[in-house]
């Protein structure tokens, strides 16, 4: 309450002051509430898409994965392992091969 009164007084005082040099201006920060879009696009259907949707979308949306250049199987495997080990993604180990194969397929021309 006191803070509110003080703040109101400050704003009023600031309004009365002549607009002088930049450094004299009083900046008043305001609280922010801003919801972010979630990004609920699914990976395109194909062999392994279920494994990818189930294991990947909890941590990140699909967009950045779908804009990767054509990467080799080894490169994609390293990416999935980085998610598992460095970023602790709860990926079911038995899904890893299906995920990697799906991602390798992204770089190939689709019908």
Partner 1 sequence: MQRALSVQSLASRRRFLGTAGAAGAASLTLSPLSALADAMIKLPLPGGPDERSITTAFPQKGALILQRTRPPLLETPLEVFDQSVFTPNDKFYVRWHWSLIPSTVDVSSFRLAVHGHVNQNLSLSLDELMALPRVELVAINQCSGNSRGYFQPRVSGAQWSHGAMGNARWTGVRLKDVLDRAGVKPGAVQVRFNGMDEPIVPDAPDFMKSLAIDHARDGEVMLAYAMNGEQLPLLNGFPLRLIVPGWFSTYWVKMLNDIEVLDQPDTNFWTKTAYTIPDTPHANVQPGQTGFKSVPISRMVPRSFITNIKPGDALQAGAPTLARGIAFGGDTGVARVDFSSDGGNTWQQAQLGKDEGKYSFRQWQFRFTAPGRGSQVLMVRCTSSSGETQPNTPYWNPSGFMRNVIEQTPVVVS
Provide the minimum distance between the beta carbon of 14 and partner 1 in the complex, in angstroms, as a whole number: 13
Is residue 32 part of the contact set for partner 1 (CB under 8 A)? yes
Binding-site string for partner 1 from residue 42 to residue 81, where x marks contact by CB under 8 A and - marks none: x----------xxx-xxxxx-xx-xxxxxx---x---x--
Residue 64 DSSP symbol: H
Task: Give which of 62, 49, 50, 56 is closest to 80, Cα–Cα.
Answer: 56
Is residue 14 part of the contact set for partner 1 (CB under 8 A)? no
- As a whole number of angstroms, the distance between CA 41 and CA 23 comes to 46
- As a whole number of angstroms, the distance between CA 39 and CA 59 comes to 11
**Residue 60 three-state SS:** coil
* Cα Rg, the chain, nearest whole Å: 25
Nearer to partner 1, 47 or 58 (CB): 58
Nearer to partner 1, 18 or 90 (CB): 90
- Residues making contact with partner 1 (CB under 8 A): 3, 22-23, 25, 27, 29-42, 53-55, 57-61, 63-64, 66-71, 75, 79, 86-92, 95
């Amino acid at each position: 309450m006191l803070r509110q009164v003080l703040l109101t007084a400050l704003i009023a005082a600031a309004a009365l002051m002549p607009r002088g040099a930049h450094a004299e201006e009083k900046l008043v920060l305001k609280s922010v509430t801003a919801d972010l879009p979630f990004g609920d696009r699914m990976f395109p259907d194909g062999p392994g898409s279920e494994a990818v949707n189930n294991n990947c979308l909890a941590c990140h949306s699909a967009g950045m994965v779908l804009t990767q250049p054509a990467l080799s199987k080894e490169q994609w495997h390293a990416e999935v392992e980085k998610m598992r080990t460095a970023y602790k993604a709860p990926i079911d180990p038995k899904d890893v091969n299906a995920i990697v194969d799906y991602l390798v397929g992204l770089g190939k021309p689709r019908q």
